[in-house]
Amino acid sequence: MRILLAKDTPALLRKGSTARVAAEVPAKFAPGDRVIVRNFHPHGHTRAPRYIRCKPGIIDRDHGVFAFPDAHAHGKGPCPQHVYSVRFAARDVWGDDASPRDAIYIDLWDDYLDPAG
């Protein structure tokens, strides 16, 4: 396992990098697909905000295949997955007091999503 030391951080940030993975992974979803965010409670950090779990959304775009950070950060390898921009109606997230014209977009990995029935 590689460890990033504080003294090495500035040089690494200047160099730049990407989590994009050159892997042929079939997409589970396509733009326009309706999805539901899974209600899961992992130990440690995840990039799926709790306030969006169990909420319905629509796939807006597919960003491509990236290393899945929830696995990669724990030394399980990149576990490549598609990352989607998912559109959520504000009312579906915050209730009837939210504007019917507003929406939020959150980037989410395949493992966070299920097809909406």
Per-domain boundaries in the chain: 19-115
Q: Which fold has domain 19-115?
A: SH3 type barrels. (2.30.30)
Q: What is the mean pLDDT of the chain?
A: 90
Kind plus residue range of the DSSP H or E element containing 59: strand 56-66
What is the pLDDT at residue 73?
67
pLDDT at position 35 over 90: yes
Q: Of the candidates 65, 68, 70, 88, which has an alpha carbon nearest to the alpha carbon of residue 78?
A: 68
Distance CA 18, CA 67 (A): 9
Q: Are 57 and 48 in contact (CB under 8 A)?
A: no
Instruction: Please determine, for residue 53, whether its predicted confidence score (pLDDT) is greater than 90.
Output: yes
| pLDDT of 47 over the 80 cut | yes
The answer on pLDDT for 72 being more than 70 is no
